[in-house]
Structure 1
Amino acid sequence: MEIKAIYQDEHLIVVDKPVDLPVHKNDFMPNDAAYLTKLVGDMTGKWIYNVHRLDSKTSGVIVLVFSSEVAHEMTLKFERKEVVKTYHAVVQGNPGNGIFDKKVVVKKKSKFKKPASTRYETLRTVSTNLSYKEKEQVELSLVKVMPETGRWHQIRQHFAQNHNDILGDSHHGDFTLNKLVSADTDIRRLFLHASSLEFQHPVSGEALRFEAELPQEFKVVLDHYCISTDTTTEISG
């Protein structure tokens, strides 16, 4: 599997993580399974440190570092909310613009919840011919998402709580809608993408911003179903 490097220097590397690729190995994976830190280590010939989380089902920008010292500095930046993270997602309905601030569970099968905050902005909404159960001509929206905290599946939980399930979410989402879309388009993925990261370089202090292009599948699905469009801001795929 090829990993696209967006930026690299002697201290860190920023890559565009493919969808359905775990960041690091876990006990449930086969011994020969691919994971990001191993692939990037093989690509660079360096030991790789992971400094923030990106779910295996989420594609997009992630920063990895080459030393424990830089890992410590970058981890602090994330903890102190000095890193600006932007995502894009395709969701059910039209959430508009605002902030989700309900508490979310902290891990799978847990009932313990912590405060979380997710800002969002709807960029494009399409009316579709998708109808099932009590729903008719279901709307789909492309949204820009700016999480202000970093809880487990925070973005996915917040949109599901508000009945704006992220398309392709097999854990929190609308399973009937997911099946209909995958059957129609043959696209099977979580429609959540880490679009950009902004932070000051942990060594030089230089202001950095990195972007990963929106996956083509996002535009393909919206265009496939669109029977009418209420567009706030167009984003090309």
Structure 2
Amino acid sequence: MSLTICYQDEWLVAVNKPAGMLVHRSWLDRHETQFVMQTLRDQLGRHVFPIHRLDKPTSGVLLFALSSEVASLMQPIFQSHAIEKRYLAVVRGWLKEGGVLDYPLQKQHDKIADSKASQPAPLQDAITAYQPLAHVELPIACGRYETSRYSLLSLLPQTGRKHQLRRHLHHLSHHIIGDVNYGDGRHNRLFREHLHCHRLMLHALSLRFVHPITHQAIHIEADFDDTWQQLMIKFGWQEFLPQ
């Protein structure tokens, strides 16, 4: 397979990561045979250096440097949060107003490095700005309700904790559809059985940052896959599809 390239210059390259694809090899998924990092390296015929990560089930913009020197220049930009990462998510329920959730999350132990840790991991600051964009009510019963309600959210994480968006939406009781770790199984099943949606409905839509070499403002956007596009059309949310 080949990856869709969203942006490329002589220092950086960004791809549209497919849902279900790991960024790089991991002992947690020994059975996987395709990885973004190796696929992109083979596609470009040169080494690439990951600057950040996306969870396996999340799709969207994923940025790489084309040299270790540029990767080193980009790391402080991410660490100082001098980059805007915008996600879109479909969540259960109608969230009427936007806000900023400042809710610390417990650091998740690494299954290998922290396997012998005896103390609970510390809490870490975690901040997410969220804004509802659209709503839909489906004539499909779920639980004790005769209809099912969902919202399309814009999410701007201001910190970068593991599974931050999924855990924050769980805290708000507006679970992201398709989330098997922190989500609501009844709504996940409804989307699978009635809407043929078998993925996490979280998409890294765009990145905005100042280029470390050219110092120009960079805006990179990733299109939606077929599952997203079909749902957006079915729900009447076409205006939020990238042009």
Residue 104 to residue 134, structure 1, CA distance change in 2 (3 Å)? farther
| Counterpart for residue 35 of structure 1 | 35
Give the Cα–Cα distance (whole angstroms) in 1 for the partners of residues 40 and 15 of structure 2: 9
What is the TM-score normalised by the length of structure 2? 0.88
For the pair 1:167 / 2:177, whether they are aligned, the reply is: yes
| Residues 126 and 222, structure 1, Cα contact 8 Å, conserved in 2 | no
CA separation of 1:223 and 1:76: change in aligned 2, threshold 3 A: same
Structure 1: 5+ residue stretches without partners:
none
For residues 59-108 of structure 1, give each alpha carbon's deviation from its aligned partner in whole angstroms, at most 9, with x where no partner exists: 00111012111111111100011111100000011222111211123226
Rounded Cα–Cα distance in structure 1 between residues aligned with 2:67 and 2:153? 35
1:236 counterpart = 2:237: no
| Shift, 1:42, TM fit | 0.3
Taking the TM superposition and a 5 Å limit, the aligned residue runs for 1:32-111 are 33-95=33-95, 96-107=97-108
State the 1:138 CA deviation: 2.1
- Aligned identity (percent) is 32
State the alpha-carbon separation in 1 of the partners of residues 240 and 205 from structure 2. 12
In 1, Cα distance between equivalents of 2:30 and 2:140: 38
SS of match in other structure, 1:19: coil
How many angstroms apart in 2 are the aligned matches of 1:63 and 1:134? 43
1:156-181 C-alpha deviation (Å, 9 max, x unpaired): 11111111000000110001110121
**Match for residue 160 of structure 2 among 136, 150, 159:** 150
CA distance in structure 2 between the aligned counterparts of 1:149 and 1:34, rounded to whole angstroms: 29
Closer, same or farther: CA 45–188 of 1 in aligned 2, 3 Å: same
Unaligned runs of 5+ in 2: 112-119
Shift of 1:51: 0.9
Asked whether the equivalents of residues 50 and 64 of structure 2 are also in contact (C-alpha less than 8 Å), the reply is yes
- Comparing 80-89 with 124-133, greater Cα deviation is found at 124-133
1:90 and 1:218 in contact (8 A); partners too: no
**Residues 206 and 222, structure 2, Cα contact 8 Å, conserved in 1:** yes
Letter in 1 for 2:76: L
